[in-house]
Amino acid sequence: MKRWQKVLLSGLVVVAAGTGVLWLSGKLSAAPVQAGSPAPDFTLPDQDGKQHRLSAYRGKTVVLAFYPADMTPGCTLEARSLRDKMSEFQQMGVQVFGISVQDVKSKREFCDREGLNYPLLADVGGKAARQYGVLAPAGIAQRVTFIINPQGQIARVITDVNVNSHGEQVLALLKQQPAVQSADWRAKIGQPIPDFSLPRVDNGKMESVYGDRKQKATVVMFIATRCPISNAYNERMRTLAQQYMPKDVRFVGINSNVIEPTPEVAEHAKQNGFPFPVLKDEGNKIADHFNAQFTPEIFVMDAKGILRYHGRIDDSQNPANITSHDLRDTLDALLAGKNPPRAETKAFGCTIKRVR
């Protein structure tokens, strides 16, 4: 068999090397799901075996980039282009997925080889590709990208994918979408907080504030390593997280202090046994979005990502003098399907040391 083989399938040219499809060109063999239609739901594993259900990302913009095959020339160029623009996608609160019919092991090898920083979903059998109308007769996905709005509808369908600059191509279209979260959002009670990602202080990997988005509430805590008031709450933060995490409440610590380097923050988290991820907000951009001023300062979002509480953990640095358990009361109310007793309280602590 020759190394390079061309096969004509229903007007679609498939260029292959052995059994590995490299790229697709020509007319599409099937009609993709059209813009304005509900995005078909699916659940697929990524390169690490983690399951992703599309409907769990309702409330944010999602990019689904179907492609023919892992580690082939055209698909590699496309993946690199998306990879290199991932920080801009994250700033916009956009979740990107690549999808092809190869298995989890293949996805893991592709990610490791190219340093890909977004999930690749293993659509073995092509069920999702079939749902979206992009499954070719050869049993592989055609190169088509879908932009899904926060309401779960298909906003754009990209059939003329430019593998060399697909990241820029998608970003240009996203900026035309009114539903895409703005990079200039500001936290307001009763308004949605877009997803965002920051590096974990323990391993440097990017962490989404909402994680898998299946939790009933999300608690964001701005904390510090050198602030005596924040440190007075370390045990309380740890205890609250241990008590409420089993109830599907997600806790995230954020350090925005320019004077506290990442290794120091990582060691502080380890010494205090925090069971939640601690993220580093270099340049205090996320603190600015929340208009957070103190450590500790708390923000609580409900299951839909709506900001429901902002303020203090409780009303006294000294545990013996506490009369109002504000964070605990907020979480109990949300878990019971009720409104928090108070949407806002006055936070107190050390000021966040911002960049000048």
What residues are annotated to the active site? Answer: 75
State how far the Cα of 232 lies from the Cα of 44, in Å rounded to an integer.
43
> What letter does residue 306 receive in the DSSP assignment?
B
Secondary structure E strands in the chain: 4-9, 12-17, 20-26, 43-45, 51-53, 62-66, 95-100, 120-122, 144-148, 154-158, 197-199, 206-208, 217-222, 249-255, 278-280, 294-295, 297-302, 307-311, 350-351
Q: Cα-flanking dihedrals φ and ψ of residue 243, to 5°?
A: -80, -35
State the virtual CA torsion across 200, 203, 204, 209 in degrees, nearest 10.
-20
Alpha helices in the chain (DSSP H): 73-84, 86-91, 104-114, 127-131, 166-174, 228-232, 234-244, 262-271, 285-290, 326-335
Interior/surface letters 294-306, b for 16+ CB within 10 angstroms, e for the rest: bbbbbbbbbbebe
